[in-house]
Amino acid sequence: MNFLSGFVAIIGPTNVGKSTFLNNVLRSKISIVTPKPQTTRNRIIGIYHGDGFQIIFVDTPGLHNYIRKSVLNKSMIDTAISAMKDVDIILLMTDATKPNDPEIIKTVKKIKEIKKPSILVINKIDLVRKPELLPIIDKYKDLHTFDAIIPISALKGDGIDRVIDEIKMRLKPGPMFYPENMNTDQSKEFLISEIIREKIFFFTKQEIPYSCAVKVEFVQKDPQKDIIVISAKIYVETESQKKIIIGQNGRMIKKIGQAAREEFEFIFGKKVYLDLFVRVEKNWTKDINALKKLGYKA
């Protein structure tokens, strides 16, 4: 069998650019991106199709020392660690501007325990001076014998081709796990819910984005009007959070809805009617049953 394939977990601390990297590799948005940490909550699959090979990337929640010991935070950490055990290759991503992130040492310890091929990707090199980069690389070399260390800028696309080449060198003969026209295994409903959540991250502050979950009720085509009708519920933990999401005279929910709708129309190439509702699910981030109801692994 000449075809090569394998699964690659993208792991690392929060906000290092894992989702930006994956979206840039696939040249398609499958994972939401915000300036705030801990945006990704689920394991997200991205499929890269090459000539005679297929790489299945697994984007994971950022590894972090969670202070809020909620069920959701534990679920996020468990998802990331589980991904490392399930894949063929581990891609550890770090931030060049934060070479002393304590989470790196903990993560490298896990990588040593798992004993799988590992590639270190140092992201955001566009934000540091070149003379600063060599000492950072040397520091990581002392931590662990990585199979490769690659400086990149996920935002600008620099170094991404080399990452693909290094992964390809370590793939083994295997099947084509996904057809060539697929770049993710996520459903349309999941992507819609994530984009709405992304807009909540952009427009709200403090704890609000972390206390929100989005569940799509239905997605329907209206052939007579040639539009797509989407209904979704935004879940929060308290009545005060609900008031913030709705905003004075409904301004905040309109802003979130408009930004999400515009992106949906770009993705689907059709007019979209988006109906958003806000519901209180008290302390859902700490409730296993509520977590499962909203689609999270608990």
Band of pLDDT at residue 90, cut at 50, 70 and 90? very high
CA 90 to chain centre: 16
Identify the pLDDT of residue 80: 62
CATH number at residue 33: 3.40.50.300
pLDDT tops 90 at residue 109: no
What is the average pLDDT value for the chain, to the nearest integer? 86
245 C-beta neighbours (distance < 10 Å), count: 21
State both tokens at 82.
């589980």
Against a cut of 0.85, is the pTM above it?
no
Domain region containing 74: 4-173
- Do 102 and 230 share a domain, yes or no? no
- Do 217 and 157 share a domain, yes or no? no
Give the C-alpha separation, 236 to 239, whole Å: 8
The terminus-to-terminus CA distance of the chain in angstroms comes to 39
pLDDT tops 70 at residue 70: no
pLDDT tops 80 at residue 23: yes
Q: Total structural domains in the chain?
A: 2
- Do 111 and 216 share a domain, yes or no? no
